[in-house]
Amino acid sequence: MATATYQRERRRLAERLRALRQAAGFSGNRFARRIGWPQSKVSKIETAKQLPTDDDLRQWADGVEAGVETVRELQSLLDQAREEYASWKANYRAAGGASGKQADSLALELEATRIREFVPAFIPGLLQTAEYARELLHRPAGPSAFGASEPDIDQMVAVRMQRQQILYRPGRQIQIVVLEAALRSRVCSPTTLAGQLDRLLAVAGLPALEFGVVPFDEDVPVYPLTGFAVFNDDLVVIETVTGEQQLSDPDEVALYEQFFDLLRQAARYGRESAAIVQRALAELRRPSSIP
């Protein structure tokens, strides 16, 4: 399920597997029969649409009678493909630029039926107002620091708003947890933040969305170092200040699932989360807060 900007290592592995199959003299159909797979699975792996498991890799290596060194090489390529990192600078240089990165996110979210996201210090993109997104993206450490132009940022905001249509699609489960600090961080003007908090109150009841807040007086069970999102049960996306990492190693994905479960247990929902948002909004709307 990796997005377009994270295909480099997957493509290297896919090309190597295809080359080994061809060197062994097998067509795709014949090789699929040899190792007992559907031909479509061979095709998906060779086109980097599906990442093989450790067992898949062993079966492939056995099918082409690969030597010990080749098996080690393949395992190394698989390990690299499971942990891909791309800097924002590299992302924005890719086809489509900064808005292309948002389009990648849109495609990833449309493909997923379950999204679990934790953000410690600001409102995640799927819940942002256009004004909040625009001011956030104009921060000094935002896209412009990595080569995005003003039209790029405008387009990023537009696509980010388009991404939010997933909140209204049937058959989706979207679970979002934030720390209470996310409701108060001044990554935008007080007026814009007030509008953002109103937006949270409006969307919190959507059937597809479970929105939770970990209050200040609750123990935080997971280090709030950075946000992360889990897509279905096979991909984790982690954002940093300078780039983004995707993890698809099953053991690591399972750990992030456990971490998210702990955060969910610490969060408040429904009327309780609404009360926390309303308290932050009331304090923000005091005469001294908004000019």
Q: Is residue 1 very low, low, confident or very high in pLDDT (cuts 50, 70, 90)? A: very low
Residue 42 lies in a domain: yes
- Structural domain for 30, as ranges: 4-82
Q: What is the DSSP letter of 177?
A: E
**175/272 same-domain check:** yes
pLDDT at 4: 47
Length of the chain: 291
Q: What is the CATH number of the domain that holds 55?
A: 1.10.260.40
The number of domains in the chain is 2
**192/255 same-domain check:** yes
Q: Is residue 236 very low, low, confident or very high in pLDDT (cuts 50, 70, 90)? A: very high
pLDDT at 139: 93
CB atoms within 10 A of CB 9: 21
**76/102 same-domain check:** no
Whether 260 shows a pLDDT value over 90: the answer reads: yes
Q: What is the chain's mean pLDDT, rounded?
A: 89
**129/185 same-domain check:** yes
Cα 183 versus chain centre, distance: 21
Residue 170 vs residue 200, higher pLDDT: 200
Cα–Cα dist 215/219, whole Å: 8
Q: Which of 30, 55, 82 finishes a domain?
A: 82
Whether 291 shows a pLDDT value over 60: the answer reads: no
Residue 90 lies in a domain: no
**128/51 same-domain check:** no
Q: What are phi and psi of 30, to 5 degrees?
A: -65, -40
**190/237 same-domain check:** yes
Cα–Cα dist 281/217, whole Å: 18
Residue 88 lies in a domain: no
Residue 19 lies in a domain: yes
Contact 229, 235 (CB under 8 A): no
Residue 87 lies in a domain: no
The predicted-structure confidence for 19-75, as pLDDT tens digits, reads as follows 999 999 999 999 999 999 999 999 989 988 788 888 999 999 999 999 999 999 998
DSSP character string of 24-90? TT--HHHHHHHHT--HHHHHHHHTTSS---HHHHHHHHHHTT--HHHHHHHHHHHHHHHEEEEEHHH
**68/8 same-domain check:** yes
Q: What is the CATH number of the domain that holds 253?
A: 3.30.870
**8/103 same-domain check:** no
Whether 2 shows a pLDDT value over 50: the answer reads: no
What proportion of the chain, given as a percentage, has pLDDT over 90?
66
**57/175 same-domain check:** no
**163/238 same-domain check:** yes
Q: Which of 33, 61, 82 finishes a domain?
A: 82
Residue 290 lies in a domain: no
Residue 20 lies in a domain: yes
Q: Which of 56, 82, 108 finishes a domain?
A: 82
**162/259 same-domain check:** yes
**116/243 same-domain check:** yes
Residue 102 lies in a domain: yes
